[in-house]
Copies of this chain bind each other. A is one copy, B any other.
Amino acid sequence: MSTARRVVTFEGPFRMHRGGFIESPTLAYETWGELNAARDNAVLIFTGLSPSAHATSCAEDPTPGWWEDMIGSGLPIDTDRFFVICVNSLGSCFGSTGPASVNPDTGEVYRLSFPVLTLEDVAESAWLVVKHLGIDCLHTVVGCSMGGMTGLALCVRHPDSTRAFISISSATRAMPFSIAVRSLQREMIRSDPKWKKGNYKAGKPPITGQRLARKLGMITYRSAEEWVQRFGRERSTTHARLEDQFAVEFAVESYLENHANKFTGAFDPNCYLYLSHASDLFDLAEYGGSLRAGFKRLNLERAQVIGVRTDILFPIEQQRELADGFASVCADTRFDELDCIRGHDSFLVEMDAFRPVICEFFDACPP
């Protein structure tokens, strides 16, 4: 299979934010469009927890990316105008170094010997990629979900790294409902006897725990309102009630079953644990002792916050908090509160709502 993925290895130890280091990490990334002569048209995209760097298709790799309808010629993140970069997060398993990678010092897979991962580490390692591409200052950082917090980590630590910031369905930090959900997802995986404290055998991952975690994920990624409209009390037509009376009966149970089947196998369980945990740990208020102080460290010319009314994982109150925070330090801040019904996942599936507001943001940028 053809790939547009590039990799770069940064020789030497990479110091981790919470202690420890990893030796010579590799980062996978993709780019679209051309860097201009002034090197000031680069847009960096930070992903949510699970996507790879393959945000959209290209000639080299025509398989659809995770944000296919957002990035491209004539699309809101316009590759005729911008040089677009997407990095696979440090700690993930799609080409970048993570718990599923071999530790060059030992020749063994890291597994739980990988140091505690934070979004600061994800941001700093992506920043190395940006500099490797010869860019000193980004035009815009776009962060979706967890990626919005990663973007904040970059901007608060390197205030001159970007001129603009778009935060999509993200937060300044996780609140207890989201922490509880993610903690429970991790416990589902850790409770699976096949997890073996991270030492699961090749081909024998803790699939049961992963399936449960994915189902809980879907419950929090979508919205009750969407499901009332979409499923109501419809019965499943695709799943037979094989096992016992408690097996799939309702359409919504079939839907979760299908999603769980798709996801498991695609993502390394230990990588998932590390990235999920990193999402809980990030807190903008750690920079200066308060959110207010954290925002004060930013140096942005323009900011946009996009949030969705039905999001229960990164709820609309947290979008308002972000918008107020950016506005307190950056006059040119816009807040788009979208009335989508698909909850947190809306930025991936309700493109007709998201495209126009992102388009407007870039259209308003000086050329």
Residue numbers of A with Cβ under 8 A of B are 112, 116, 173-177, 179-181, 183-184, 186-188, 190-191, 193, 197-198, 208, 212, 215-216, 218-219, 223-224, 227-228, 230-233, 244-246, 248-253, 256, 273, 277, 280, 283, 312, 315
Contacts and interface: CB of A to CB of B under 8 A. Distances in A.
B232 A175 contact: yes
Number of this chain's copies in the complex? 2
Contact of A176 (B179, B216, B228): B228
Contact of A231 (B176, B233, B244, B246): B176
A204 to B, nearest CB: 15
B283 A233 contact: yes
A181 B253 contact: no
A149 to B, nearest CB: 13
A256 B183 CA distance: 10
18 contacts: A173-B233, A176-B227, A176-B228, A176-B233, A177-B223, A177-B224, A179-B233, A179-B250, A180-B219, A184-B212, A184-B216, A187-B215, A188-B188, A191-B212, A193-B193, A224-B312, A246-B273, A249-B280
A50 B122 CA distance: 44
Nearest to A177: B224
A256 B184 contact: yes
Contacts of A252: 176, 179-180, 183
Nearest to A183: B253
A180 B212 contact: no
B212 A244 contact: no
A175 B212 contact: no
A15 B91 CA distance: 57
A255 to B, nearest CB: 8
**Of A176, A186, A230, which is in contact with the most chain B CB atoms at under 10 Å from its CB?**
A176
A219 B175 contact: no
Nearest to A246: B186
